[in-house]
Structure 1
Amino acid sequence: MQERHHVVVVGGGFGGLQLVNDLKGAPVKVTLIDRRNHHLFQPLLYQVATTVLATSEIAWPIRRLYRDRQEVTTLLGEVAGVDMIAKEVTLAHGQSIPYDTLVLATGATHAYFGHDEWAAVAPGLKTLEDATTIRRRVLIAFEQAEVEEDTARRDALLTFTIIGAGPTGVELAGIIAEMAHRTLPGEFRRIDTRLARVVLVEAGPRILPAFSEELSAYASRELEKLGVEVLTGTPVTDCTDEGVTIGESFVPSRTLVWAAGVQASPAARWVGADADRAGRVKVGPDLTAPHHPDIFVIGDTASVIQEDGKPVPGIAPAAKQQGAYVAQVIRGRLTGSPAPGPFRYRHQGSLATIGKRAAIIDFGRIKLRGSLAWWIWGIAHIYFLIGTRSRFAVAWSWLWTYLSGQHSARLITQKDTLREER
């Protein structure tokens, strides 16, 4: 085993796991490093944040996934840098991990466009911790509104603002509105949750800009039917404990969620590579870092330009395709097989939900919307979940929510110091 080619993979997301899976049977040993001990199915993270699913239904311990792969070692740790001369990865606690081939699949985090101070009052949605924080703040807002005597403060508590109208923002807005207008009425005595405001803010001219104008317009109409106020064409200029400033207008809102942008990990600095504005490494046609054929960069960490000049989108299918491609390249190098050629991204369609009964799907020539699109969206997501138990649990949670209108994970489990002090 010690003589095998050592592949170090940093990041246990979609790209990293696909790579490790596709290296099964190859003459390599693999070390997989991640800051967390679990793989997270991010496309359904917003459903944890909005009380539809529990955390255990969309996350799985990485060690368990590879318990039968003796050539795979899993390490819980945070990478601090890469020594490209010594060919070592340095962890934050000081340990160095040597590599023959390094794959950086470290993902991305929230981007506040120079206003990092907004993070405390407008959390983003990238981790389980983010999801439970948002869920807690949404639920606490209703609870505090129930006991609030001041009308203006109560109205601010019942105003939920989502900043950014990509798929995550749209999906969050839709479910929060459904929860306020359809799930919670009747459970409170002093407030009418149907009077809650859900505000979706997009600086661009329309929501869901990656979709066709037709589907974008449909999604906007469906959100408005759910009671969401859709504001486009004006950026957010300030976020505080008391609310959000949209352009020059202040909206009192005690619960803000950030879904407006992402920033890649520091991987570009680790390997001294050029990066785009979001910090993604500008990789070569084979997904290697420039001048370093032994270092690959994939997923949200990589800036990959397609033949038409457009960037490969930062979505799960793209990361999985990149992971599979790099595994093929590594196998070819070790066995002397011909190189597979430049990476080619195959777009499999864009999907987004609007509440629990409608969705939009863009397959290019084929575009679907409404309840049929929602069922296809659900089947596709269940298919990609890991393990029969998770598929059954999520399917049951969705069926229960669909039929009863009730959410199954409405638990406030942690103290929110910021929320309780306000």
Structure 2
Amino acid sequence: MTARHDTLPHVVILGGGFGGLYAARSLRKAPVRVTVVDRQNHHLFQPLLYQVATATLSPGEIASPIRGLLGRDTTVLLAEVTGVDVPGKRVLLADGELSYDSLIIATGATHSYFGHDEWAKHALGLKTIDDALHIRRKVLLAFEMAERETDPVRRRELLTFVIIGAGPTGVEMAGSLGEISRHTLARDFHNIDPSQARILLLEGVQRVLPVYSEPLSEKARQALVKLGVEVRTNTRVTHIDETGVFIGEERIAARTVIWAAGVAASPVARSLGVELDRAGRVKVAPELTLPGRSDVFVIGDLAHFIQDGNPIPGVAPAAIQQGKHAARNLLSHLEGKPMKPFRYWDRGTYAVIGRGKAVGVAFQRFESSGFSAWLAWLAVHLLFLIGFRSKLAVLLDWAYAFLAFKRSARLITGPLPELVRPEKAGEPLTAPRETASPARDAVLG
């Protein structure tokens, strides 16, 4: 005779990213009640978010509703988590609370501006679909505004794009912007030459992609330079405002600044009452549990886990493996069996730089670059995309972009910028202002 559903142990999972989603999936057939809590109603494939920001993919191709992915056996709540009362076994929500018997925390990470949170309104981060659409709008509007600008200085500012941080996200963004300006938009305008856009990639250490070997980093740098990207290493930003970026006394005038320099763990970690690392991540036990607790697991970008002397990377495969392992250990704990320590199997990491170009390492040993690395990157990302429809749509868009140098999602959504009309009748309109008017929405192809 099976137990009543409401008497089964209640497992709460915070976060519908890779870790939380795969933990929930692993518990679907288990004798537990599962509740997933997320402030968004969708699971997002973050590794391809930059392709939404640069108009290759549409949001629906890299995101799926969490309810649809988990089915009716799992309860899904749309709510904002503000903290966890570990002794009281309660999840604190912005509009209430939720009790649990076992808890898996996978709330991920957010942007870190290294103590300069005031920079956030001028340097756009890339963590959510809203972020990606904001960047896409900003980038495409810059070319539209430059087309109407008569002042060469202001036009130059509009066509200057600065990316801060040369990790995988920054490198991929810079390479994609290089392709947009040199290929996708090259023949679309009459008054400007998009290929003359200035794209700067700034990095505080001595080379791009510092997690890779020096030869791979150098190949990545060379590929970026071929796309017209100006790479500046050992360069530290000292100030960011609406006019651009400052490096000491040097000012780089730019109307579009993208932040890819750092991340910080979700603030939920601070409510747990345990030791955190410098990025605010929880120093978890080998079993992925909160130190001193066997009923609370922390996984994904929120977990600081050391393996062979090094922290495991904050990538999707690591979160997926942790989600599955946490689910297994949770069930072992409920059955009174010993839990097993986690071991990450690194299949490989890749960074794409442009059309047919990438660098990467497979199984921590085999380095590759160029077209072969790009094919491996493509295969890995298609493998982890959820749903046949998503895989097919992304594959078709990639094929279109590769063969035709086109991007199918070049839409500017949102209110039109306010146009500055001259006092004298008959004069041409000058460039749009930065302030937006809610009068109507624009959809520009």
Fold similarity call, TM over 0.5: yes
- Say yes or no: does 1:91 pair with 2:93: yes
Distance in 1 (CA, whole Å) between partners of 2:68 and 2:403 is 34
The amino acid across from 2:434 in the alignment is: E
Q: 2:214 — aligned with what?
A: 213
Q: 1:236 — aligned with what?
A: 237
Q: 1:311 — aligned with what?
A: 311
C-alpha distance after superposition, 1:245-277 (max 9, x if no partner): 124321111100000000101122221111111
Distance in 2 (CA, whole Å) between partners of 1:293 and 1:248 is 53
C-alpha distance after superposition, 1:140-191 (max 9, x if no partner): 1001111111111100100000000000000000010110011111110100
Contact residue 332 and residue 338 of structure 1 kept, 8 A: yes
Distance in 2 (CA, whole Å) between partners of 1:220 and 1:81 is 42
Distance in 1 (CA, whole Å) between partners of 2:40 and 2:130 is 11
C-alpha distance after superposition, 1:372-421 (max 9, x if no partner): 11112111111111111111000000000000001000000113879722
Q: How big is the shift at 1:76?
A: 0.1
Q: How big is the shift at 1:283?
A: 1.1
Contact residue 24 and residue 70 of structure 2 kept, 8 A: no
Q: 1:10 — aligned with what?
A: 14
SS of residue paired to 2:87: coil
Q: 1:361 — aligned with what?
A: 360
C-alpha distance after superposition, 1:199-218 (max 9, x if no partner): 00000100001111111000
**1:19 maps to which of 23, 33, 45:** 23
What value does the CA root-mean-square deviation take over the aligned residues? 1.4
Q: How big is the shift at 1:335?
A: 2.9
SS of residue paired to 1:393: helix
Matches within 5 A, 1:59-208: 59-67=63-71, 69-70=72-73, 72-93=74-95, 95-208=96-209
Q: 1:273 — aligned with what?
A: 274
Distance in 1 (CA, whole Å) between partners of 2:287 and 2:380 is 29
Contact residue 168 and residue 351 of structure 2 kept, 8 A: yes
- Say yes or no: does 1:284 pair with 2:285: yes
SS of residue paired to 2:379: helix
Aligned sequence identity (%): 54
C-alpha distance after superposition, 1:92-146 (max 9, x if no partner): 01x2211000111000000000111111111110000000000000001001111
Distance in 2 (CA, whole Å) between partners of 1:416 and 1:7 is 46
C-alpha distance after superposition, 1:297-347 (max 9, x if no partner): 1111111111x321111111111111111111012122344422x111222
Q: How big is the shift at 1:291?
A: 2.1
Contact residue 294 and residue 333 of structure 2 kept, 8 A: no
Contact residue 11 and residue 106 of structure 1 kept, 8 A: yes
SS of residue paired to 2:123: coil
The amino acid across from 1:164 in the alignment is: G
Q: 2:43 — aligned with what?
A: 39
Q: 2:32 — aligned with what?
A: 28
Q: 2:435 — aligned with what?
A: 421
Unaligned runs of at least 5 residues, structure 2: 419-432, 437-445
Contact residue 234 and residue 247 of structure 1 kept, 8 A: no
The amino acid across from 1:269 in the alignment is: R
Distance in 1 (CA, whole Å) between partners of 2:351 and 2:88 is 45
SS of residue paired to 1:374: helix
The amino acid across from 1:43 in the alignment is: P
SS of residue paired to 2:339: coil
The amino acid across from 2:263 in the alignment is: V
SS of residue paired to 1:117: helix
Q: 1:329 — aligned with what?
A: 329
Deviates more, 1:80-89 or 1:397-406: 80-89
Deviates more, 1:156-165 or 1:288-297: 288-297
Distance in 1 (CA, whole Å) between partners of 2:332 and 2:130 is 39
The amino acid across from 2:358 in the alignment is: A
Distance in 2 (CA, whole Å) between partners of 1:337 and 1:292 is 15
- Say yes or no: does 1:388 pair with 2:388: yes
The amino acid across from 1:59 in the alignment is: A
Deviates more, 1:76-85 or 1:352-361: 76-85
Contact residue 212 and residue 362 of structure 1 kept, 8 A: no
Q: How many residues align?
A: 417
Which structure 1 residue ranges, 4+ long, deviate > 6 Å from structure 2? Answer: 416-419
Q: How big is the shift at 1:221?
A: 0.2
Distance in 2 (CA, whole Å) between partners of 1:339 and 1:114 is 39
Matches within 5 A, 1:288-307: 288-306=289-307
Q: 1:56 — aligned with what?
A: 60
Unaligned runs of at least 5 residues, structure 1: none
Distance in 1 (CA, whole Å) between partners of 2:327 and 2:181 is 46
The amino acid across from 1:233 in the alignment is: N
Q: 1:351 — aligned with what?
A: 350
Distance in 2 (CA, whole Å) between partners of 1:374 and 1:237 is 35
Distance 1:229 1:317, change over 3 A: same
C-alpha distance after superposition, 1:55-85 (max 9, x if no partner): 0000000011122x42x10000011122223
* TM-score (ref. length: structure 2): 0.91
